[in-house]
Structure 1
Amino acid sequence: MSKPRWAPEDRFEIGGEELLPPVQAVSPSGETETHDELDFARHWEESHKDIRVRVGTLLKTETVSFLLGAGASVDCGGELIGSVPLSVERDLCSKGISGTERFRMRGWLRVFYLAIRCTSRNVDMPVTREQILARWHQLDAKGVEPLKVNFEQVLETLHCWRAALPDAECRLRVDGVPSIDVKGSDLASCLDYSTRSLAATCQLPTPEKQAGIATYRTLVRKLLTRPLNLKRVNIFTLNYDTLIEQASDATGVVLLDGFVGTQRRVFRPESYEQDLYFPAETTEGHVHRFDRVLHLYKLHGSITWASHTPSIDDPYGIRSSVFNPDGEHPVLIYPTPAKYGETLGLPYSELFRRFASALVRPQSVLFVIGYGFGDEHVNSIIRQALAVPSFTIVIVDPRPSSDFVNELRKQQDRRVWIAEGPTLGKIAGFVDHVLPDLRDEEIRKQVLETHKAVDEIRISSYGNTCDDG
C-alpha cells in the first residue's frame, strides 16, 4: 500500500470539514504500531480517492475557471511582489547610480525610493541620498532582506503621481513627511525603468528552475480531458509571465487570448467568442470540435503586451509579441489599482467583465491557485459569484490567512473548498496529487465496474453450481 504524499500541515476541507486523516498515526506509547500504520494507509487511500473523485466532479461542471496568482509561478523562479524584489532593486540601483568614488545618483532613482517611503509609511525606509547609497552597498550582502512594501502598490503610487501632472515638463510638489518634490521627467523615467525591470524578472522559468514548467504542462493536459460538450476552460491569471503560453505551445494547445493576427497580433476581444472545429473524414457534412483549446485572460497584462498608437486596424493600440526588454514601446503590465476608475480602460475592463461573466454563470467553478486575495477588484467579483447558489470556489494556498479567506471559513459554506499546506497548497502538489486526469479516472472506473461485474458473475455461477450439487 502506497505511503501518504502529504506533510502533517496539509489539509483539504469542504465547508470546514476536514477530509484528510492525520498523517501520523501514533500509539499511546509514542511508537507507531503496525496495525495503526495499515489502518491509516487504508484510510489515507480512501480519503485520497474521495478527494480526487470530488475534484473530478467539479471538473465536469459546465463552466470551469482557474485564477492564478504570483504564488503559482514561484516554482519556476517567479518573484513574490508582496515586497520589493531584490533583483528589481539591484537592477534599478545599477542603472541609477554611477561612478566609483564620487557617486552620481539619477533623479528618477530618488523618486523610486520616495514612492516606497510614501507607500509603506515606514520612516525606516531609505529616502535621502546617504540612506539610498547605504542601502545600495547592502544589496549584495548575504541575508539582505527585501523592502517590506507591496511592489505593485509602489508602482500604483508612481502612476497616481504621474496622473496628477498634465505633462512631463511639470513638477509635483506635496507638503508632508516626507515632502514630495519630483520632476515629471524623473517620474516618467522611474516608471519606465521600474516597469521594465519588473517585466525582466517575469521571464520564466529561470535557468535553475526549468523543471517547474512541467507542472504547467500537466495542468494544461489534465484540463483538456474534460468532455468536449462542455464549455472551454477559462484560465484567468494576474501574472505577467508566459508560463501558460509556453506550456500550451509544448502540448500543441491553441490559446484564445484575445489577440488575432499572424505577423502583427492586435487585441480583438471579440475573438474570445470564436471556436475551432474540423470536418469529419466522411462526406456527410458533420464537423467535430477541436479538443485542444483553452481560453486565456491576463487580467493585469503581460510582458508580451506593448502599447501603440490606436488606429483603424488596431483600435485599442495593444499588440502582443515576444518580450523585448529594450523595446521602444511601453510594456503593458498593470499595477493593482486603488480606484475602480483606473480599471475601466481597455483591455482591462473587458477582461474583468469576462471574468465576472464566467463566475456568475450557473454551475460555475473557480480554482484559485497562488493568489493571496490582495486585489479588491478580484475579491469583489468573487463575492458577487458567491451569491449564486451553484457557484463553488476551490482555494489552493500553502498558508491561507487573508481576511477574505478567514471570513469565508467562518461561514462554513459547503461551496468553499480549501487545500492548504506545503504540498496540497502549492500548484505542483495540487496538480500532481489532487487534480485528476478525467480520462484515466474514466478508465479506472470502467475497470472497477468490469471487475465488479465479473465477480458478480462468478459468485452467481458458483451459487448455481452448488445448487446443482
Structure 2
Amino acid sequence: MKDELLRALTSDSLIVLTGLGTSLGIPPVAESKAPNMWDLWEKVSVLDGFAFASGDVPAEILEAQNIEHFLSHIQAKLSINDDCELSDFLAKAQDVILDACSFVGPQSELDIHQLFLRKIGRRSARLQRTKLFTTNYDLAFEEAAARARFHIIDGFGLASHRDFEGALFDLDFVRRGTNDRLILEGNVLHLLKLHGSVDWERSGASTRRVSGKPKDPVLIYPSANKYQLSFRQPYLEMMSRFQMALRLPDVSLLVVGFGFNDEHIVAPIEAAIRGNVGLRLIVVDPGIRAESKRSKSLTWLERLAQDGDHRISLLEGRFDDLVRMMPDASEFDERQAHADRISRLDDRGTG
C-alpha cells in the first residue's frame, strides 16, 4: 500500500478529494466539534417552528431523522408555494448548520491536517501542483495551511483581492533566484471547495471571502438539489476543474473521508475510471468492508479491483491512519535527485 501511495504522490498530477471524515477526527474544543448529519438533525429538530415545518413531511424521513431529505422536502414545497413561516424556518435551519460548521479556530488541534498537507504538497517542482478538492465547509485546511506555512491558491487571490475569480487558479507563486532566474516556490497547493465555505459571502453577482460570519452565506446545504446548485458559480468553476483534472493522462486521485453519496461528484469519477486508462485511484474509508452500508459506487470499485483493475486500491482506515502511512514525497524526490546526479557523473566518467 505504501508503494501505491508513493506512486500516487509522484504521478504527474495528484488530485485529493476529501469529505466529512477528515474533519470528524479533529479533537473538540470546549463543546465545539465537527458535526455529522445526526448532529445537524438534532440542532434543527429543536428549533422553533420544527413542528410546523415537519407537519406534512413523510413519516419515513422523520423516523430516519435524515436532515438532507428533510431540508429537500421543505425546499421542494417552497418552490411550489411561497410560505413565509416555512421560509423563515428554513433560514433558521441553514443558519444553525453554518454555525455548527464554523468550529475550527485558533485553538483547534490540526496536527494531522498539517502533516497531510506537507505530504501531498511538497512534491517535486517538475510535477503539477496538488489539487485538493473538499466538500467540507469548515476552515480546517485553511488554518492548517497557515500554520504549516503553505501558500493556498483558492480562487480568491491575496488579501487585496477577496472576490472569487476562476482565472486566479492559473496563477502561481515563484521567487526570483540568482541571475533573475524564476523558481517555483515550494509549499503551494490548490484548494477547491466544492460545496462552499463558512467564510464565503454573496456580494451582488460575485462571491467574496470575509472574516467572521457572512451575511449571505455561499453554501450548498444538505439537500437533494446539490446537483443543480453545482452548476452555479463559484461551484461550476470548481466542478469544471475537477472534471478536467480527472482527464489528465498521468493522474492519481486520492479519496479520503468521502462516502461516494454525492451524485454530482461521483458521476465524473466513474466516467474517468471508464475512460481514462492513465487514472490511478486510491480510496480510504473506515467502513469500506461494510457491504450493507457502503454506497453502490464503492461496491462497483471493489468488483473492478477484484476483476484485475490494478489502477484501483481500496484501503480500510481513517484519515489519520492514511496520513501516518503515507510516505514523504519530498524525501523521495531528494533521493531521486541524488541518484540522477550520481548517474550523470558516472556517464561523464565513462565518456
Structure 1's 429 and 66: CA in aligned 2 closer, same or farther, altered over 3 A?
same
Q: Does 1:438 align with 2:329?
A: yes
Moved over 6 A (4+): 443-448
Task: List per-residue Cα deviations over 1:200-247 (Å, max 9, x = no partner).
Answer: 11123489x933x11100011112221011111001001111100000
TM-score normalized with structure 1 length: 0.64
Residue 403 of structure 1 deviates from its aligned partner by: 1.3
The alpha carbon displacement at 1:276 in A equals 1.2
Distance change >3 Å, CA 352–CA 150, structure 1 → 2: farther
Partner in structure 2 of residue 287 of structure 1: 182
Corresponding residue of 1:75 = 25
Deviation at 1:353, TM superposition (A): 0.9
Alignment correspondent of 2:269: 382
Tell me which residue corresponds to 1:352. 239
The one-letter code sitting in structure 2 at the alignment partner of 1:61 is: S
2:287 matches 1:391 = no
Q: Residues 114, 397 of structure 1: CA spacing in aligned structure 2 closer, same or farther, 3 A cutoff?
A: farther
2:25 alignment partner, SS class: helix
Within-5 A mapping of 1:70-469? 70-76=20-26, 77-81=33-37, 83=38, 85=40, 88-89=43-44, 93=46, 96=48, 106=49, 109-114=50-55, 117-118=57-58, 121-122=59-60, 125=62, 148-165=64-81, 170=82, 184-205=83-104, 210-211=108-109, 213-260=110-157, 262=159, 265-280=162-177, 282=178, 284-310=179-205, 317-324=206-213, 327-338=214-225, 340-386=227-273, 387-400=275-288, 401-412=294-305, 413-420=309-316, 425-433=317-325, 435-441=326-332
Which amino acid in 2 is paired with 1:415?
R
Aligned amino acid, residue 60 of structure 2: N
Corresponding pairs, count: 325
- Distance in 1, matches of 2:21 and 2:68, equals 15
Distance 1:447 1:226, change over 3 A: closer
Structure 2 residue matching 1:240: 3-state secondary structure: coil
Whole-angstrom distance in 2 between the partners of 1:263 and 1:289: 22
Return the alpha-carbon distance in structure 2 between the equivalents of residues 443 and 244 of structure 1.
26
SS at match of 1:65: strand
1:78 corresponds to which letter in structure 2?
Answer: A
Unaligned runs of 5+ in 1: 1-50, 97-105, 126-146, 171-183, 311-316, 449-469
Contact 1:224 1:292 (C-alpha < 8 Å) held by counterparts:
yes
Distance (Å, rounded) in 2 between the aligned partners of 1:447 and 1:287: 22
The question of whether the paired residues in 2 share the 8 Å contact of 1:360 and 1:388 is answered with: yes
Backbone CA RMSD of aligned residues? 2.7
Superposition deviation, residue 297 in structure 1: 0.7
The one-letter amino acid paired with 2:331 is D
Secondary structure (helix, strand or coil) at the match of 2:54 reads helix
- 1:302 touches 1:333 (CA, 8 Å); kept in 2? no
Larger Rg: 1
Deviations 1:78-99 (A, max 9, x none): 2222x4535523xx62x52xxx
Identity within the alignment, %: 25
- After superposition, what is the alpha-carbon deviation per residue over 1:253-273, rounded to whole angstroms, capped at 9, x for unaligned? 111111135256111111001
Distance 1:406 1:354, change over 3 A: same
> Given residue 79 of structure 2, which amino acid in structure 1 is its aligned partner?
A
Letter in 2 for 1:439: S
Q: Is the 8 A contact 2:196 2:219 kept in 1?
A: yes
Contact 1:336/1:375 (<8 A) preserved:
no
Residue of structure 2 equivalent to 1:34 = none
Q: Check conservation: 1:192, 1:330, Cα contact below 8 A.
A: no
Q: Shift in Å at residue 148 of structure 1?
A: 3.0
1:31-46 paired onto structure 2 within 5 Å: none
Deviation at 1:343, TM superposition (A): 2.6
Letter aligned with residue 302 of structure 2: R
- Paired AA for residue 265 in structure 1: R
The answer to whether the 8 A contact 1:360-1:384 is kept is no
Normalised to the residue count of structure 2, the TM-score between the two structures is: 0.84
